């Protein structure tokens, strides 16, 4: 690191994504050694895109990156690494089948192609001691927990000699204790001449640790605040502008639950993707007309639980009943036939077929009995969905891949809500929707529960959403479930405590 | 004593077939370890045999034949790796296209010289060379093992095969890595294939491309999890099946085609056996094998 | 830099197809020119083959097989096994016509119809089963279908060879390794002679008409296949599922469908169409099988891959691309039998390998096509730094 001067300037960065989505428009920002910057903004404001451009993952359409008066050409991450710019993302970018040392060796410039991994091993031991974490260089990455992987990522940044450290929600999901330890360490890193950019949605935390706060809104810088100027109110205003007042986080009215349980899980044990138990003995019951929300930090087994309920994931132990029928390991087909809607994690990957048009995407779910498709019926249905959700498309025969991300999400959500006759199982149901549509979707969900008496179980990383929508709140942490809690009477910090405990 | 001799006899008999299959499967494995699906293998195999015949005859030396085959195959590997890494195009389509092109080029390269000289004996490796070549093949296997498992370059190759996006974020230059893997891999494929006409059969003609031995090598690699060491017994087994199919056939009084059938049935059987047992998990293919590496995708 | 297109490229399909053809033909011409064949001669032979009535037979076969593969390819199931499915389809045909119901004389119309219908139906079943095996291995063992279908091709070759040398060995073939000729009573041909008029244009047109009549049954079969494939993809739920499978199997799973079943069914349908064509081909043209079959195939199964790919999986473009491919293969044959070309090839040492040149042409057309295909979904933007 040393004490040499360091000044990084991002100048007029513009980036457009396919579909004409303008992610960044003439964004400029500065960064000096000894600075700790928090980059804030709504989902989709362009924070991650900006940092990915700095790290060479995306190429900007326009704009320049200048380090100490020298214009850099960063076309790939290795170019950035060479300049001491290192990014750690929210999802670990490590190769599972390689060891920790192998993973870290890949970025070490001075290790020759035919050399081994001993240099990295030594450095890992040295730096992990400095940071105060325990990392074994010879462990395969797949055997590590999420927290351990993130620690490896951070140690990696130091091993690679980071001068500018970008943390894209990297600390957000670490346990509080680890996080605090890191903030202390980052302050020291800064004092020694490094620079830090943190992307986070935990605004209070950002206010506490950052020297300067840069806020993005809809791809533009909406303001900069020094530590002294910054208040929670000011930041919120910069993030949401006037719209902040329109968006309501008021609780939607509670629905009257029925007596009949629709979804019932008893002592469920389910494995995650790497063969370790992800759901550990979860029992849950959702009655007719009830909306149950599962709060939790990503990666605590919510996804696996929901996938097991819909029949996508094998259940090792325990039973699932839907409408009183035992559907344990009976497959998703049977459960879907019972009229259960499902919004998956990564909906654009799992919930939609890009090369087909809207009507085909809807038909393949709705048309279940006969061999010959009744296209007239499907067409009526499709038009309904397009109308209700204000999907911007010239016609129902428009290929889905040409729709914008938000409209695509509306196709998925609209289709699944419409399909839910008995129950809805949803993961982040309003992800990637603009706030207005998100509120509308929540209203529709609530409406279906109240008037059509469907049972809803959803998981969301957005605690506001959980509070707004749920009749019952559960918290999922490390594969175990806590609850039920009544949203009317349970304070948020109680839920937050259970989430990160 | 007698038993030992006959065992040695078998080993010698299978040797040339083993060398061919082992090296082709080994090179193919390096290529696929980097995440590049290699459906061109059968065409590259045939083309290399043609190139080997050309080189051996023109230079009057089998070693020149092997090296020329390695060189030409290597160029095709570079082309394939470059196209598949820089453009969002189907690995399968490019591979199969190159397979057909390989059939054609193999004939263009090998046929005229072969017609000119008639018999190839004069240009082939001597029988005594079998031992040395086996040693070279095994040495190449060990070196490959060391390269893949113990070096930074090997880790980069594996990383590019598991997840090129993550590999890139970790600091790997995916294009360079894949080019290197492809050049080395296909050079070994070409080198190995050269032993088909120059050591094993000591014969070559146009029908070689209907044999499907490239596909057998593909299956051997699949069945051995693309592991340089596990490939050894697997290549030996298949080499034996192919080499002794004639013996098996005459012993059991079966038509020639039953014998030709056996290795392919064996290949299919091996594929099935692996996918239904635990071995399948250990020998799992690289996660991004054959997947398009496309950088600018924005997902929600 | 390469970016995903937001709108489909105008005339993208046409451009891609044309460029691929041009590239393939140029490389082919170039290699022949290197041997000494004048490019003009090569190109004139190629262009004249486009208006030769000789392409009708190949055109029909390749269109039907192209549709067969299109069904699988639409589901991103790379059925490279049409060769095997074709010869497995031939097995029941040969069995029924030359073994079980062989006849030297005439038989009742009823028997003719029954044997022919039975052959066609069983050929469809055999083709479907051979396809379904590959589908099942893909579905249940998770093995990539390309090596599986290819290996099944070799297995089919050798199985049929064994049959030809064994139970199917003809009794009236003077010891040749071949089956008996399919009796006239079971043949699906229409015999016709049209008198020459002396006018070359009218004669040219008439020769087309004659070929169309001779292959009348095939044309009927072709029409049925076109209609069924269209109906399958536009009206049936299985057809829709195949399309979704091709685009995103994960969504098919999420929607609650069994990808395994869809995979197997798709392979079976693909193989069934191949089997159907196989029956027509044997009953209407080939009339017997000869040992060894892998040496004497016209490679229809592989050419059909080219047809399906070149159509960009567009149902309306399959006949177009089949016509192009059959013209080009006929050009290859015309070329190698043209005395002038033959002389050059012999001088260059290629006597006996003339036909192999078409692999170069096919390979380069395919390669250019596979590379350029991305242009219809992506655009290339040059970024200056």
Residue A284: the pLDDT is 95
Tell me, yes or no, if B104 comes closer than 8 A to chain C by beta carbon.
yes
Residue B189: the pLDDT is 98
Tell me, yes or no, if B212 comes closer than 8 A to chain C by beta carbon.
yes
Chain A adjacent subunits, 3+ CB pairs under 8 A: B, C
Mean pLDDT of C16-38: 82
The residue to which tokens 């596979």 are assigned = C370
A79 CB neighbours in chain C (<8 A) are none
* CATH of the domain spanning A7-245, picked from 3.30.1330.60, 3.50.50.60, 3.40.50.300, 1.20.1740.10: 3.40.50.300
Residue B223: the pLDDT is 78
| Chain A nearest CA to C8, separation (Å) | 9
Q: Which residue has the higher pLDDT, A246 or C85?
A: C85
Average pLDDT over chain A, rounded to whole? 87
Confidence of residue A4 (pLDDT cuts 50, 70, 90): low
A331 CB neighbours in chain C (<8 A) are 258
Tell me, yes or no, if B152 comes closer than 8 A to chain A by beta carbon.
yes
| Chain B nearest CA to C204, separation (Å) | 33
- Cβ atoms of A78 and A56 closer than 8 Å: yes
A73 CB neighbours in chain C (<8 A) are 385
Mean pLDDT of C242-259: 93
Whole-number Å distance between alpha carbons of B226 and C238: 37
Q: Is the CA virtual torsion A243, A245, A246, A251 positive or negative?
A: positive
Mean pLDDT of A101-118: 93
Tell me, yes or no, if B151 comes closer than 8 A to chain A by beta carbon.
yes
Distance (Å) of CA B152 to CA A109, A135, B148: 11, 20, 8
Tell me, yes or no, if C355 comes closer than 8 A to chain B by beta carbon.
no
Q: With CA atoms as reference, report the closest residue to C139 among C186, C61, C201, C77.
A: C77
Mean pLDDT of A111-134: 90
Domain ranges of chain A: 7-245, 261-499
Give the pLDDT confidence of B225-257 residue by residue, as tens digits.
899 999 999 999 889 888 887 777 777 777 778
Mean pLDDT of B118-126: 89
Whole-number Å distance between alpha carbons of A25 and A13: 6
Side-chain-side CA neighbours of residue A404 (13 Å): 17
Q: Is the pLDDT of residue A374 over 70?
A: yes
Tell me, yes or no, if C159 comes closer than 8 A to chain B by beta carbon.
yes
Residue B176: the pLDDT is 96
Tell me, yes or no, if C295 comes closer than 8 A to chain B by beta carbon.
yes
Whole-number Å distance between alpha carbons of C8 and C376: 6
Q: What are the phi and psi torsion angles at A167 (to 5°)? A: -115, 105
Give the pLDDT confidence of B194-232 residue by residue, as tens digits.
999 999 989 998 888 878 899 889 988 987 889 999 999
| Chain B nearest CA to A348, separation (Å) | 7
Number of A to B CB contacts under 8 A, please give it.
102
- Closest Cβ opposite residue C258 in set A18, A333, A363: A333
CB contact under 8 A, C244 and A402: no
CB contact under 8 A, A364 and C257: yes
C385 CB neighbours in chain A (<8 A) are 73
Helical (H) or strand (E) element with C215 = none
What predicted TM-score, i.e. pTM, was given to this entire model? 0.82
Residue A275: the pLDDT is 63
Residue B1: the pLDDT is 47
Q: Is the pLDDT of residue B84 over 90?
A: yes
Tell me, yes or no, if C155 comes closer than 8 A to chain B by beta carbon.
yes
Confidence of residue C295 (pLDDT cuts 50, 70, 90): low
C23 CB neighbours in chain B (<8 A) are none
Which CATH superfamily hosts domain A261-499?
P-loop containing nucleotide triphosphate hydrolases (3.40.50.300)
Give the pLDDT confidence of C134-149 residue by residue, as tens digits.
999 999 988 888 889 9
Interface test mutation site (partner C, options B28, B46, B97, max chain C beta carbons within 10 A): B97
B86 CB neighbours in chain C (<8 A) are 2
| Chain B nearest CA to C15, separation (Å) | 17
- Closest Cβ opposite residue A97 in set B147, B158, B168: B158
Residue C296: the pLDDT is 61
Q: Is the pLDDT of residue C330 over 90?
A: no
Q: Which residue has the higher pLDDT, C353 or A70?
A: A70
Q: Is the pLDDT of residue C87 over 90?
A: yes
| Least confident residue range of A7-11, A26-30, B273-277 | B273-277
Interface test mutation site (partner B, options C136, C147, C347, max chain B beta carbons within 10 A): C147
Mean pLDDT of B125-134: 90
Interface test mutation site (partner A, options C254, C260, C313, C380, max chain A beta carbons within 10 A): C254
Interface test mutation site (partner C, options B37, B113, B222, B264, max chain C beta carbons within 10 A): B264
Chain B adjacent subunits, 3+ CB pairs under 8 A: A, C
Pairing of strands A36-41, A195-199: parallel
Q: Which of residues 241-270 of C touch A (CB under 8 A)?
A: 241, 243-244, 246-248, 250-258
Give the pLDDT confidence of A329-346 residue by residue, as tens digits.
999 999 999 999 999 987
Tell me, yes or no, if B295 comes closer than 8 A to chain A by beta carbon.
yes
Give the pLDDT confidence of A175-213 residue by residue, as tens digits.
777 788 888 888 888 998 899 999 886 777 888 889 999
Q: With CA atoms as reference, report the closest residue to B76 among B64, B94, B57.
A: B94
* Nearest-10 crossing angle of helices B174-195, B152-162: 100
Interface test mutation site (partner A, options B169, B176, B179, max chain A beta carbons within 10 A): B169
| Least confident residue range of A33-37, B52-56, C15-19, C220-224 | C15-19
Tell me, yes or no, if A354 comes closer than 8 A to chain C by beta carbon.
yes
B103 CB neighbours in chain C (<8 A) are 356, 359, 363
| Chain C nearest CA to A350, separation (Å) | 5
Q: Which of residues 244-283 of B touch C (CB under 8 A)?
A: 255, 257-258, 260-261, 264-265, 267-268, 271-272, 275-276
| Least confident residue range of A131-140, B181-190, C78-87 | A131-140
Q: With CA atoms as reference, report the closest residue to B22 among B265, B231, B166.
A: B231
Give the pLDDT confidence of B17-32 residue by residue, as tens digits.
999 999 999 999 999 9
Residue of A nearest to C1 (CA): A59
* CATH of the domain spanning B13-210, picked from 3.40.50.2300, 3.40.640.10, 3.90.550.10, 1.10.3470.10: 1.10.3470.10
Mean pLDDT of A394-415: 81
Tell me, yes or no, if B162 comes closer than 8 A to chain A by beta carbon.
yes
Average pLDDT over chain B, rounded to whole? 89
The residue to which tokens 């099988």 are assigned = C289
Q: Is the pLDDT of residue C258 over 80?
A: yes
Tell me, yes or no, if B93 comes closer than 8 A to chain C by beta carbon.
yes
CB contact under 8 A, A346 and B153: no
Q: Which residue has the higher pLDDT, B192 or C6?
A: B192
Q: Is the pLDDT of residue B117 over 70?
A: yes
Chain C adjacent subunits, 3+ CB pairs under 8 A: A, B
| Chain B nearest CA to A65, separation (Å) | 18
A408 CB neighbours in chain B (<8 A) are 300
Mean pLDDT of C207-226: 87
A102 CB neighbours in chain B (<8 A) are 155, 158-159
Highest mean pLDDT among C200-209, C247-256, C296-305: C247-256
| Least confident residue range of A445-454, B35-44, B260-269 | B260-269
Side-chain-side CA neighbours of residue C56 (13 Å): 20
Residue C380: the pLDDT is 65
B212 CB neighbours in chain C (<8 A) are 150-151, 154
Residue C30: the pLDDT is 86
Q: Is the pLDDT of residue C7 over 70?
A: no
Tell me, yes or no, if B118 comes closer than 8 A to chain C by beta carbon.
no
Confidence of residue C249 (pLDDT cuts 50, 70, 90): very high
CB contact under 8 A, C366 and B96: yes
Q: Is the pLDDT of residue A1 over 50?
A: no
Residue A168: the pLDDT is 87
Q: Which residue has the higher pLDDT, A319 or C376?
A: A319
- The burial class, CB within 10 Å (0-12 / 13-18 / 19+), for C85 is buried
Tell me, yes or no, if B115 comes closer than 8 A to chain A by beta carbon.
no
Residue C297: the pLDDT is 61
Distance (Å) of CA A146 to CA A4, A41, A75, C51: 35, 25, 29, 67
Q: Which residue has the higher pLDDT, C256 or A143?
A: C256
Mean pLDDT of C183-204: 80
Mean pLDDT of A368-374: 88
Give the pLDDT confidence of C117-135 residue by residue, as tens digits.
999 999 999 999 999 999 9
- Cβ atoms of A275 and A294 closer than 8 Å: no
Q: With CA atoms as reference, report the closest residue to B132 among B269, B218, B15.
A: B15
Query: In chain B, what's the furthest Cα-to-Cα distance?
Result: 70
- Closest Cβ opposite residue C256 in set A337, A372, A375: A337
Per CATH, A7-245 and A261-499 having the same topology is answered yes
Say which residues have a Cβ less than 8 Å from residue A46's Cβ, sequence separation at least 6. A15, A23, A24, A27, A216, A218, A219, A220
Q: Read out DSSP for A35-87?
A: -EEEEEE-TTSSHHHHHHHHTTSS--SEEEEEETTEEE---SHHHHHHTTEEE
């Amino acid at each position: 690191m040393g004490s040499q001067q360091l000044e990084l300037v991002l100048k007029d960065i513009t980036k457009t994504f396919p579909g004409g989505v303008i992610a960044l428009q003439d964004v400029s920002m500065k960064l000096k050694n000894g600075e700790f910057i928090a980059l804030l903004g709504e989902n989709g404001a362009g924070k991650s895109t900006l940092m990915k451009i700095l790290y060479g993952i995306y190429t900007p359409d326009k704009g320049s990156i200048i380090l100490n008066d020298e214009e850099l050409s960063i076309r790939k991450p290795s170019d950035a690494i060479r300049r001491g710019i290192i990014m750690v993302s929210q999802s670990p970018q490590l190769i599972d089948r390689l060891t920790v040392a192998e993973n870290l060796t890949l970025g070490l410039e001075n290790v020759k192609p035919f050399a081994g991994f001993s240099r990295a091993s030594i450095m890992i031991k040295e730096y992990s001691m400095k940071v105060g974490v325990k990392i074994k260089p010879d462990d395969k990455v797949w055997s590590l927990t999420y927290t351990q992987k993130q620690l490896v990522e951070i140690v990696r940044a130091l091993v690679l000699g980071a001068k500018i450290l970008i943390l894209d929600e990297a600390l957000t999901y670490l346990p509080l204790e680890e996080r605090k330890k890191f903030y202390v360490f980052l302050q020291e890193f800064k004092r020694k001449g490094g620079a830090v950019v943190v992307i986070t949605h935990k605004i209070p935390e950002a206010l506490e640790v950052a020297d300067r706060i840069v806020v993005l809104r809809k791809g533009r810088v909406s303001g900069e605040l020094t530590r002294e100027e910054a208040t929670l109110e000011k930041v919120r205003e910069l993030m949401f502008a006037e719209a902040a007042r329109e968006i309501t986080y008021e609780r939607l009215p509670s629905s009257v639950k029925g007596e009949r349980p629709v979804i019932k899980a008893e002592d469920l044990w389910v494995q995650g993707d790497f063969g370790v138990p992800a759901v550990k003995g979860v029992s849950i019951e959702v009655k007719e007309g009830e909306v149950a929300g599962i709060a939790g930090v990503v990666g605590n087994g919510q996804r696996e639980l929901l996938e097991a309920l819909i029949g996508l994931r094998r259940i090792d132990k325990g039973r699932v009943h839907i409408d009183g029928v035992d559907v344990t390991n009976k497959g998703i087909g049977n459960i879907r036939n019972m009229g259960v809607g499902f919004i998956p994690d990564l909906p654009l990957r799992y919930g939609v077929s890009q090369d087909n048009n809207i009507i085909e995407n809807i038909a393949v779910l709705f048309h279940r009995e006969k061999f010959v498709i009744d296209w007239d019926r499907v067409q009526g249905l499709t038009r309904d969905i397009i109308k209700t959700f204000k999907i911007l498309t010239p016609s129902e025969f428009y290929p889905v891949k040409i729709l914008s991300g938000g409209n695509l999400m509306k196709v998925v959500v609209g289709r699944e809500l419409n399909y839910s006759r008995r129950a809805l199982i949803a993961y982040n149901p309003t992800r990637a929707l603009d706030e207005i549509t998100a509120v509308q979707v929540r209203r529709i969900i609530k409406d279906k529960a109240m008037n059509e008496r469907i049972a809803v179980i959803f998981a969301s990383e957005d605690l506001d959403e959980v509070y707004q929508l749920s009749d019952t709140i559960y918290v999922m942490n490390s594969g175990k479930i806590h609850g039920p809690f009544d949203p009317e009477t349970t304070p948020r910090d109680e839920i937050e405590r259970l989430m990160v405990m | 004593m007698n038993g030992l001799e006959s065992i040695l006899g078998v080993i010698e008999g299978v040797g040339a077939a083993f060398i061919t299959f082992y090296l082709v499967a080994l090179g193919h494995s390096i290529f696929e370890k980097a995440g590049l699906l290699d459906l061109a293998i059968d065409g590259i195999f045939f083309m290399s045999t043609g190139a080997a015949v050309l080189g051996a005859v023109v230079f009057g030396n089998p070693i020149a034949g092997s090296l020329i085959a390695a060189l030409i195959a290597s160029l095709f590997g570079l082309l394939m790796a470059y196209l598949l890494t820089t453009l969002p195009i189907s690995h399968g389509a490019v591979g199969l296209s190159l397979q057909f092109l390989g059939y054609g080029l193999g004939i263009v390269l090998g046929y005229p010289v072969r017609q000119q000289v008639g018999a190839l004996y004069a240009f082939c490796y001597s029988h005594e060379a079998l031992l040395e070549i086996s040693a070279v093949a095994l040495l190449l296997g060990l070196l490959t093992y060391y390269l893949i498992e113990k070096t930074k370059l090997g880790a980069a190759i594996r990383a590019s095969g598991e997840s090129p996006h993550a590999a890139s974020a970790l600091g790997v230059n995916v294009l360079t890595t894949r080019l290197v893997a492809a050049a080395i891999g296909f050079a070994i494929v070409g080198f190995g294939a050269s032993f088909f006409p120059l050591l094993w059969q000591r014969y070559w003609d146009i029908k070689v491309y209907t044999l499907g031995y490239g596909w057998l090598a593909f299956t051997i690699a699949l069945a051995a999890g693309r592991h340089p060491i596990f490939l050894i017994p697997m290549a030996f087994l298949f080499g034996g099946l192919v080499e002794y199919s004639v013996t098996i056939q005459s012993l059991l009084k079966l038509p020639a085609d039953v014998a030709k059938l056996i290795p392919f049935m064996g290949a299919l059987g091996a594929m099935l056996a692996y996918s239904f047992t635990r071995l399948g998990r250990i020998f799992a293919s690289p996660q991004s094998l054959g997947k398009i590496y496309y950088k600018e995708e924005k997902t929600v | 830099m390469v970016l995903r297109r937001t709108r489909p490229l105008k005339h993208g399909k046409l451009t891609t197809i044309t460029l691929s053809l041009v590239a393939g033909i140029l490389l082919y011409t170039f290699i022949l020119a290197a041997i000494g064949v004048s490019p003009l001669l090569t190109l004139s032979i190629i262009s004249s083959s486009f208006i030769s009535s000789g392409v009708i037979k190949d055109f029909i076969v390749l269109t039907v097989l192209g549709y067969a593969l299109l069904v699988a390819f639409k589901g991103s199931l790379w059925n490279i096994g049409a060769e095997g499915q074709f010869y497995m389809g031939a097995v029941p045909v040969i069995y029924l016509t030359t073994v079980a119901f062989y006849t030297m004389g005439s038989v009742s119309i009823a028997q003719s119809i029954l044997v022919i219908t039975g052959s066609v139906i069983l050929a469809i079943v055999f083709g479907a089963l051979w396809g379904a095996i590959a589908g099942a291995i893909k579905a249940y063992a998770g093995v990539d279908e390309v090596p599986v279908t290819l290996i099944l091709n070799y297995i089919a070759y050798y199985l049929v060879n064994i049959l030809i040398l064994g139970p199917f060995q003809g009794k009236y073939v003077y010891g040749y390794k071949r089956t008996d000729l399919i009796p006239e009573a079971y043949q699906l041909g229409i015999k016709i002679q049209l008198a020459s008029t002396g006018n070359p244009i009218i004669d040219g047109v008439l020769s087309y008409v004659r070929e169309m009549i001779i292959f009348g049954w095939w044309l009927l079969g072709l029409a049925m296949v076109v209609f069924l494939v269209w109906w399958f993809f536009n009206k049936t739920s299985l057809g829709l599922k195949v399309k979704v499978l091709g685009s995103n199997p994960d969504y098919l799973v999420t929607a609650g469908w069994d990808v395994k079943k869809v995979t197997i069914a798709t392979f079976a349908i693909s193989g069934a169409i191949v089997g159907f064509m196989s029956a027509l081909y044997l009953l209407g043209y080939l009339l017997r099988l000869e040992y060894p079959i892998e040496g004497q195939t016209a490679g229809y199964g592989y050419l059909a891959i080219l047809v399906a790919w070149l159509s960009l999986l567009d149902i309306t473009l399959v006949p177009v691309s089949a016509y192009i491919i059959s013209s080009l293969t006929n050009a290859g044959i015309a070329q190698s039998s043209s005395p002038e070309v033959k002389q050059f090839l012999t001088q260059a040492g290629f006597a006996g390998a003339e036909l192999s040149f078409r692999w170069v042409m096919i390979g380069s057309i395919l390669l250019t096509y596979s590379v350029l295909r991305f242009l219809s979904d992506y655009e290339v933007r040059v970024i200056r730094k």
